[in-house]
Amino acid sequence: MAERIEGLRLPRTQRRQQILAAAAQAFAETGFHGTSLADVATRVGVSQPGLLHHYPNKQALILAVLEERDEVQTHYLDELFRGQDPSVVDWLTALCARNVEQPELVRLYTVTAAESLDPAHPAHEYFQNRYQRIRGVIARRIVLDQEKGRFAPTVDPEGLASELIALMDGLQLQWLMQPPVDMCRLLEASLQRLAAGPDGAVGAVRQGGARRDG
């Protein structure tokens, strides 16, 4: 029944953890502007000033949510491929498989990323940095793939990274909108097409992308 017990005093870190979870839900559902501090406070089972005791204002709250989720996600992927050197295709496939288990997290990023296009949005700079960072991570992975002959050397890593991120973002939107859309199956179809095409493994060999190795 999870009744609210007013005035119950919790240790700082535990309460902050509760708040982050509740805020993540709320912001995922209605975005930054559509969510009130009272919304979040009610979910936690605390008063609205009680909420502001832990995070000084609304902006600090949403930034804390985004950054905490980032850390968890990054840590997960680092652990999953520890000591390995996955191809972009494997890496993105794993990411998608992970995302499909966390629709709320995906929605948080889909909703707030679009909202943050406004330069006055509290997470504007955050998403500017986030996209550049992710593009870099994926581009580097593509370069490694090229060195192994998995892609033609003519492929532009930054460009392909943008395309792959775009594909994932767009599929996530449709998946959230109409869950029967099977985003990981569609991603895989695209990735296979990529690997089998003129810029992929087969094409790369044909075009000389793997000559260094042989």
Partner DNA sequence: GTCTATAAATCGATAGAC
Partner DNA sequence: GTCTATCGATTTATAGAC
Smallest CA-to-CA distance from 86 within 97, 95, 98 is with 95
Q: How far is the CB of 62 from DNA (least distance, A)?
A: 10
What is the chain's length?
214
Nearer to DNA, 7 or 83 (CB): 7
Cβ atoms of 174 and 183 within 8 Å: the answer is yes
Distance separating the N- and C-terminal Cα atoms of the chain: 66
Touching DNA, residues 20-49 (CB under 7 A)? 35-39, 45-49
x/- site string to a copy of itself, residues 44 to 83, per CB under 8 A?
A: ----------------------------------------
Smallest CA-to-CA distance from 87 within 141, 135, 139, 134 is with 141
12 sits near DNA (criterion: CB under 7 A): yes
Interatomic CA distance for residues 210 and 48, integer angstroms: 60
* CA distances (Å), origin 27, targets 82, 176, 180: 32, 15, 24
x/- site string to a copy of itself, residues 136 to 175, per CB under 8 A?
A: --------------------x--xx-xx-xxxxxxx-xx-
Q: How far is the CB of 58 from DNA (least distance, A)?
A: 4
Positions in the binding site for a copy of itself (CB under 8 A)? 29-34, 107, 110-111, 113-115, 117-118, 120, 127-128, 131-132, 156, 159-160, 162-163, 165-171, 173-174, 176-178, 181, 185-186, 189-190, 193-194, 196-199
